[in-house]
Amino acid sequence: MGSYRAPILDLNLLPDPPFLLTPKIEPKIEPKIEPDEPAISPPFFPPPNPNPNPSLDVSDPDSTIPDEASIYSDFLRVSQLFFRLRPDLAPSVADPPPLPLPPPTTPSSSSSAALAVPPPPATPSPSASALVDPSAKPRKTPRSAEMVRVASMTPRDGLYFRAVTRRTRATYEALRLLLMRLDEREDTTLWGFGRRNRADLKAAALMGDRGMWLNRDRRIIGPIPGVHVGDLFFFRMELCVIGLHGMVQAGIDYVPATRTRGGQPIATSIIVSGGYEDDEDGGDVLVYTGHGGKEKNNHRPAFDQKLEGGNLALERSMYYGIEVRVIRGFKYERSPSGRVYVYDGLYRIHDFWLAVGKSGFNVFKYKLVRIPNQPEMGSSILRFAEAMKLDPVKARPLGGFMSFDISDRKENFPVLLFNDIDDDRTPMLFEYTVRPVYPPIMVQQYCGGCDCVGGCTEKQCGCAERNGGEFAYDSSGILIRGRPLVVECGRFCRCPLSCPNRVSQKGVRHRLEVFRSRETGWGVRSLDVIRAGEFICEFTGVILTRQQAEIVAMNGDSLVYPDRFPQRWVELGDVSQVLPDFGWQSSALVTVPSAPDFSIDVSTMRNVACYFSHSSNPNIMVQFVLFDHYDSSYPHVMLFALENVLPLTELSLDYGNGDGGDGWTVKSEVISEGE
């Protein structure tokens, strides 16, 4: 969770009016799989909620806005129809849904900072008319009013919650890509969704029906366990799924007054995305404009703002000294949504006032100051990475560059070499090769390839048939899910180079930098945002048979054994928790390779992949690919991203363990074994 530790604050000790108790989250013990449980069930997710609708309460005016609510509630309705058609996939319904909470009371508007907050209304007694009608539109369970703060967390707790968050995000992105693939095939009509091109909402709705949204049982003040400063997201719904920001579209997330025992609305997070012309973003100091005052589909204020809802919640958070999470949104052309959202840490509200905005209407402004001793803001890293791509020397005027392209123009983008620690120039001493060097007599299973002259389609392409009857990538070249083996169209195929089934053979797609690290020796980072499932590079060198490797290893040369890489590809695109029929064991994945029976000698020839650091919790995985031959014993070792990666984040790979050793026999100056 970074170097910052939130102070322990007992909200019961706050001045009048009385406030809600804020207990500490107790560390969770990682559940163990019992012997009679199937091995495919991951130990990360809690058991399904007895209520089949534990997601966003679309009927709550504080949860969303009307236009998003209508779309989202429609997806929830049709998802229920899907579970009626497939009751074997539906969660258990042991208990009836809870009674709905009373509607929130709108505080009185005011232009002064001093407020008289009304007490919470009395909860009406339950009656038969208050019960949910099974034939009515599904009503989602409201978010809990219990407010908690993470006071302390052990390293084990941090690893556990991080694993839960990563797995949930990976499931969301895999489900979104799968729904888009089904949309392209016009198969979503079988699900009752129809073709509406909002896979982000559909994926969130399905995960909500399976009880897989995180942090819905408590409203967390401060940092979210498992979410780090600098984490980036491509969709607003993903923020809702992990509990970082609970509003579908509103910029201020808060606990309404009707859901706190003290009758005080409290803000938990805000999103700064340039939606208001009066915002002033200085990084560590932010002047944030309250919400409201705008007509629908109009970004300019049309009337005065009122001190109610999220505006009042921000003022109350300032009064009690409660910090808020800040997420910044930017336009980003490589994002599937056109935007990227970055969590920038915790801020405190130091002042607020009513002012006349640029459009001539009264707006509320809040001055937020970032709490010190936190990791660097992800938004600052994004801006620095963009400056690096334009002019690396100007961005780093103090020097440290040893080469502006160690690939010598062999890659699509220059590969920088940066060392501001010592004079080590090891990466410049080897011949750079973008392709592995195969001995002429090693690979013999060639074929004529596909005969798709006008372009490949999944139903007609012979390579797609060898790939299980489908392409492994979407239209953007993203690997939809990991496989035992991916078959691409290659040099013997008659399809054009623009074929969607040609991705990894085209070389690197990102600007990479080899850098010197005090923790891991040599490492690699990207200047671009990398999406989960994107191709990074190929692991190259001189390919040796097992017998040749035994002889070469006696000389102490650097060897890498592909058969020792763990099968991390099963984590990419895994939607078995939501749709068991779409697991990697499905009939569509029929091509299973034999174990790779070769090693890669990088003692004389190598590429940038040789400098990826080792980690048992990596962000990069190995995917075997064939495109120039069909001998599954000698596949290409391709590297793909396991998760979304912020620029200048070190790329790590799990090299695995073998023969009781480290999993590789590479010298320490070539590949560093650092976490």
What pLDDT is recorded for position 529? 92
Complete DSSP assignment for 373-442:
S-PPPHHHHHHHHHHHHH-HHHHSTT--EEES-TTTT-SSS--EEE-SSS---GGGGSEE-SS-B--TTT
The angle at the Cα of 104, spanning 99 to 110, to the nearest 5 degrees, equals: 170
What pLDDT is recorded for position 303? 80
DSSP state of 140: P
- 407 pLDDT more than 90: yes
pTM given for the model: 0.74
Q: What percent of the chain has pLDDT over 90?
A: 28
Lowest-pLDDT choice from 325-339, 516-530, 587-601: 587-601
- 473 pLDDT more than 70: yes
> Mean pLDDT for the chain?
74
Euclidean distance between CA atoms 580 and 135, whole angstroms: 27
Report the DSSP pairing between strands 280-281 and 613-614.
Answer: unpaired
- 54 pLDDT more than 50: no
Report the DSSP pairing between strands 521-526 and 512-517.
Answer: antiparallel
Backbone angles phi, psi at 157, to 5 degrees: -60, -40
Q: Pick the closest to residue 208 from 577, 642, 581, 574 (CA basis).
A: 577
Mean pLDDT is highest, among 272-281, 334-343, 591-600, for: 334-343
**Who has greater pLDDT, 152 or 473?**
473
Instruction: Over range 563-585, report the average pLDDT.
Output: 80
- Structural tokens at position 467: 């790939």
Q: Pick the closest to residue 381 from 449, 330, 338 (CA basis).
A: 330
- 668 pLDDT more than 80: no
- Structural tokens at position 239: 């923020």
Q: Rounded to whole angstroms, what are the CA distances from 44 to 33, 167, 567?
A: 11, 7, 18
pLDDT digits over 232-255, tens only? 999 999 999 999 998 887 889 998
**Who has greater pLDDT, 594 or 91?**
594
Mean pLDDT is highest, among 273-287, 516-530, 589-603, for: 516-530
- CA torsion 477-480-482-485 (nearest 10°) is -60
Mean pLDDT is highest, among 36-45, 64-73, 383-392, 622-631, for: 383-392
- Structural tokens at position 357: 């905005």
Lowest-pLDDT choice from 58-72, 73-87, 263-277: 58-72
SS3 helix, strand, coil % of the chain, rounded to 5? 20, 20, 60
Q: Pick the closest to residue 565 from 655, 674, 673, 625 (CA basis).
A: 655
What pLDDT is recorded for position 545? 85
Lowest-pLDDT choice from 185-194, 509-518, 523-532: 185-194
What pLDDT is recorded for position 81? 55
Euclidean distance between CA atoms 77 and 550, whole angstroms: 61
Instruction: Over range 95-115, report the average pLDDT.
Output: 35
**Who has greater pLDDT, 586 or 270?**
270
Mean pLDDT is highest, among 139-148, 377-386, 567-576, for: 377-386
Backbone angles phi, psi at 516, to 5 degrees: -90, 130
Instruction: Over range 140-148, report the average pLDDT.
Output: 62
pLDDT digits over 423-433, tens only? 889 999 999 99
What pLDDT is recorded for position 641? 94
One-letter identity of residue 43: P
Sign of the alpha-carbon dihedral angle for 236, 242, 247, 248: positive
Q: Are 578 and 571 in contact (CB under 8 A)?
A: no
pLDDT digits over 538-570, tens only? 999 999 888 888 888 777 667 888 988 998 988
Neighbours of 652 (CB within 10 A): 22
Report the DSSP pairing between strands 605-606 and 431-432.
Answer: parallel
Instruction: Over range 181-193, report the average pLDDT.
Output: 60
- 674 pLDDT more than 80: no
- 368 pLDDT more than 90: yes
Instruction: Over range 594-606, report the average pLDDT.
Output: 85
Q: What percent of the chain has pLDDT over 70?
A: 69
What b/e string do you get for 610-626 counting C-beta neighbours within 10 Å, with b at 16 or more? bbbbbbeebbbbbbbbb
pLDDT digits over 432-457, tens only? 999 998 877 665 556 667 888 877 88
Q: 286 pairs with which residues across the strands? A: 281, 368
What pLDDT is recorded for position 468? 78
